[in-house]
Chains A and B, each alone.
Chain A
């Protein structure tokens, strides 16, 4: 039940500035330089200077600390900072923490950033740091139940989840393939996308090599060097800025009961591995927003893998449970369809900035500036929901 208190943040804050670096396989720059470039771009986009930034929210997986930016960018007036995790399920929650700070009067202009050399540095698709340790597990990781069998990358988890979804609901590979193809189609009109200029057909998708069956190469997101940042402020201040404000209608974090302990692999111990974590975040988000799926015209859905998107189409109520495959394959997720998704190309084809790029693209849709613009888009769903408990938000035109 919606309480008066939780309606308090509705439309009261906005994103007033966005900034990214280029997205590449080898940035030739440190994480710190990437973070600063995106942050400076966002600050300028908001019509602000370093002196105006009084709050910072980081992601727990950023190597760049908030004090790194405070020091190197001369953010001399910071009076609030925070951190949200874990990793890719943080971004909407990071914006949410900024909203909470603004609403509490703890900050006026909050910088929210994510930076990583995800291709030239640590690559999440390779064996993780635990693979450099001979005896794996313990300390609440539960890796001892997974790593000794050869399970040590996220793709293997999602391969099992995708197989189970096919078993339970009859989802097939062409339905899954419709998702990377839609994201690639959006990248074709986005010159900033890593996969710009490289069309992807269903034949290409099916012929590509297996990674973790039933997932193939194009079911996996890119690995990217880059950074993205946004500025969160009050709606009143955003309206004074140079760009149209993207109002934050509502934000939510949510978890199913008994989601998993440890980081990711114990997700396979849940009662159901095809009920996404997003269901909980979706319920809370729509309740706080006073909206439902019918109010959403466009969505930026966290796409570490194709199957992640498919689950979210179900979990956010755009189709019935189990119907994500037919919905994706129907054309609904392409421009002109019921719910265009990932309109800059997403993680699958634009660049993998762990969900922060999706927030930037959502703001572009609200401003009418997207390279894959949905005509007349007034509300955009942006998700940071993969398998661990995550977050989501709705952006709205003023």
Chain B
């Protein structure tokens, strides 16, 4: 495994998702339609998270994208105080949200140090980045 480090490389000013991966791209395609979706098996219905083409539960190669409600509860969080990436000035809070209707958790970003309580209701929102990429995110409901 090559882990050669380019010590002259510059950290990018912004951080966008790669949206064309054959296994995960459907998440961002749904977001572009204003929908939050998870990957699921079209044969047996099992959720496939992390998104993947294969269902180990039934052996099918029938992955599809299932729209979800866009609501969830706060599972955990961390307040980032140490600056590491210029696209994300500290302080900010990373949240981990458990979806209400599927066994899936997703990460989100809140600015600053909001007052949070485990289990509080969260709702999805859609953030259009400056290059037009739509990225699902989360906020207190």
Contacts and interface: CB of A to CB of B under 8 A. Distances in A.
Are A and B a genuine interacting pair, yes or no? yes
Interface of A: 60-61, 63, 83, 85, 121-122, 125-127, 129, 131-140, 142-153, 155-156, 159-164, 167, 209-215, 260-262, 265-266, 268-269, 273
Given A131-B85, A151-B107, A268-B96, 12 more contacts: A63-B5, A137-B18, A146-B107, A148-B16, A149-B107, A149-B109, A150-B80, A150-B92, A161-B76, A212-B78, A212-B80, A261-B52
A268 B18 contact: no
A185 B7 CA distance: 35
A213 B76 contact: no
Nearest to A270: B105
A268 B12 contact: no
Interface of B (DSSP majority class): loop
Given A150-B92, A151-B107, A266-B50, A159 B78 contact: yes
Contact of B17 (A136, A167, A215, A260): A136
A138 B21 contact: yes
B18 A136 contact: yes
Given A156-B80, A160-B78, A144 B24 contact: yes
Interface of B: 1, 3-7, 9-12, 14-21, 23-24, 27-28, 49-50, 52, 75-82, 84-85, 87-88, 92, 94, 96, 104-109, 118, 129, 135, 137
Given A63-B4, A135-B17, A150-B15, A273 B10 contact: no
B18 A214 contact: no
A265 B76 CA distance: 14
| Residue from the set B6, B18, B77, B118 with the largest chain A CB neighbour count within 10 Å | B18
20 contacts: A63-B3, A63-B5, A121-B5, A127-B11, A127-B85, A129-B6, A131-B84, A132-B9, A136-B15, A142-B50, A144-B28, A145-B106, A148-B15, A149-B107, A152-B15, A155-B82, A159-B79, A215-B78, A260-B50, A266-B50
A261 B76 CA distance: 20
